[in-house]
Amino acid sequence: MAQASASHILVSSAERAQELKTEIENGADFAQLAQANSSCPSSRQGGALGSFGRGQMVPEFDAVVFSAPVGVVQGPVQTQFGYHLVLVTERND
């Protein structure tokens, strides 16, 4: 079964997610921005969600994690929780 590890930043608006994505693209540290901005409890670990299998996350999140290139920030991805920036850190398909 496919497994992935990912980090994310969860915010309440697409605009805020896009602002943070721009900061990351300009050299800001993903984990530091997650700690400072993410509303998910994972923010304490720099947004790290650990390892999980396909189907364990909400469908919109799952689709990105199991298709996006590793190491490239994706998003904003809208789910029932808000807007995510997603960084796939590892995946075995």
Q: Give the tokens for residue 45.
A: 């670990």
**Residue span of the structural domain in which 85 resides:** 3-92
User: For residue 76, what pLDDT is reported?
Assistant: 98
Closest CA to 54 of 41, 67, 40: 67
Q: Decide: residue 57, CB within 10 A, 0-12 exposed, 13-18 middle, 19+ buried.
A: buried
pLDDT in tens, 9-41: 999 999 999 999 999 999 999 999 999 999 999
Query: Total domain count for the chain?
Result: 1
What pTM did the predictor assign? 0.95
CATH of the domain at 82: 3.10.50.40
